[in-house]
Amino acid sequence: MNFIVSFLSNRIVRAALAIILIGGVIVLANPLESLPVILEAGPALLLWLVGGFIGIIIVNALSVWWVLGLRHGISLIRILRHYACSWSTEFYFPGKLGMFSLTYFLKKENVEVGESVAAILLIKMTMLIWLFALSLLAVGNLLTANDFLLYLGTLVIVIGGLGILFLTEGGRHFVRYTILGKHAAHFVGFSKLVKTVIQRPTQWMGLFILVFLSILMNGIMVQGLFAEVGYPLDLLTILGVVSSTILVGLIPLTLNGLGVKEGALIVLMSLHGVPTEIAASVGLLSTATGYVMSLLIMAFVLKEIPSVLLKGEMPHARRPA
């Protein structure tokens, strides 16, 4: 078992699996068949993709600003700049390094690393709850009564587990040491921020609303993409599909879920009458656009990326005086 986990944790292995799965999508779904349709709708598709990604970045930056920016008096514009850098970095530094890259940029605003990590985890965990709940819109009608109850039970367990991790001192201690390792003792701001957000209803309610808006923005983008190629679907269905796709993409099988997310999108959209080649084309185009946009952003802000991040090192904190 340890060998399997170690094998799948290897970046080269995960990159190879991503290439294999993407190749499988191209061979089996044959997206080239839909090329005339994609080319005809090309400008509109790019408009939806670029506008959608920008909207998602802005809403996610709002979440960071809501949790951290207001607390430290950092302007939304500066938070937006830092988040855009982090969003781009995550494409090319997958895993824990990319996920917590925002901590590097927020250190420029004198935000303690423990606080940054806490904010990132709160946003990620809130999104996980929404994804589990909204994915029922895509698969709920496909489940038997027993499967539906099992899914709801899983959702309750997930929410309960997250509650234990963030609402109890022991849980926060476990999360802090799991993420930050031997340096966790120096990140005193972690528990303080978590307590602050949880104890203020306006804070966590606002966070839940902003995270939902991020998923909604993603859903509107995907709905627009499929509408442009002749397959308009209602927004609730799309939200279920998007949520399920993101959830499946979290499975640590390939880098950034490459190939896994596209495959899930093809399967789920086919259940709603969308041809596999169309779904494959939209999925691959969306992935490619994300990488190109992140590369362009990184090209403008490369000088702002700390050298320790480029070396693949996690952030360290100074010992408290």
Q: What is the mean pLDDT of the chain?
A: 80
214's enclosing H/E stretch is helix 201-228
Whether 320 maps to a domain, the answer reads: no
The pLDDT, as a whole number, for residue 308 is 46
**Digits of tens for pLDDT over the chain (321 positions)?**
455 545 556 677 777 888 888 888 898 888 989 999 999 998 999 999 999 999 999 999 999 999 988 888 999 999 998 899 888 888 877 666 667 788 888 888 888 887 888 888 889 889 988 998 888 776 666 666 676 677 667 767 766 776 666 666 666 666 656 655 555 555 566 777 777 777 788 888 999 999 999 999 999 999 999 999 999 999 988 999 999 899 888 877 787 788 889 998 999 899 889 999 999 999 999 999 999 998 888 877 655 555 545 444 545 544 433
The pLDDT, as a whole number, for residue 319 is 43
The pLDDT, as a whole number, for residue 66 is 93
| Burial of 306 (C-beta count, 10 Å sphere; 0-12/13-18/19+) | middle
Whether 316 maps to a domain, the answer reads: no
The pLDDT, as a whole number, for residue 9 is 61
Evaluate whether 274 touches 37 at the Cβ level (below 8 Å): no
102 is in which domain, residue-wise?
Answer: 2-310
Please tell me the distance from the alpha carbon of residue 69 to that of residue 115, in angstroms, as a whole number.
11
Evaluate whether 130 touches 162 at the Cβ level (below 8 Å): no
Q: Centre a 10 Å sphere on the Cβ of residue 43 and count the other Cβ atoms it contains.
A: 10
Please tell me the distance from the alpha carbon of residue 133 to that of residue 112, in angstroms, as a whole number.
32
| Burial of 151 (C-beta count, 10 Å sphere; 0-12/13-18/19+) | middle
Number of domains in the chain: 1
The pLDDT, as a whole number, for residue 193 is 77
Whether 315 maps to a domain, the answer reads: no
The pLDDT, as a whole number, for residue 52 is 95
SS3 string, 143-194, reads: CCHHHHHHHHHHHHHHHHHHHHHHHCHHHHHHHHHHHHHHHHHHCCHHHHHH
Q: For the chain, how far is it from start to end, CA to CA, in angstroms?
A: 43
Query: Which residues are CB-contacts of 306 (< 8 A; sequence separation ≥ 6)?
Result: 104
Whether 319 maps to a domain, the answer reads: no
Q: How far is CA 169 from CA 115, 166, 173, 175, 295, in A?
A: 15, 8, 6, 10, 40
Closest CA to 63 of 238, 259, 207, 212: 207
Please tell me the distance from the alpha carbon of residue 121 to that of residue 193, in angstroms, as a whole number.
11
Q: Could you report the per-residue pLDDT of 52-74, keeping only the tens digit for each? A: 999 999 999 999 999 988 888 99
Whether 264 maps to a domain, the answer reads: yes
Q: Could you report the per-residue pLDDT of 180-222, keeping only the tens digit for each? A: 555 555 556 677 777 777 778 888 899 999 999 999 999 999 9
Length of the chain, in residues: 321
Please tell me the distance from the alpha carbon of residue 196 to that of residue 304, in angstroms, as a whole number.
30
Degrees, nearest 5: CA angle 117-247-232:
125
Whether 164 maps to a domain, the answer reads: yes
Whether 82 maps to a domain, the answer reads: yes
Whether 187 maps to a domain, the answer reads: yes
The pLDDT, as a whole number, for residue 141 is 62
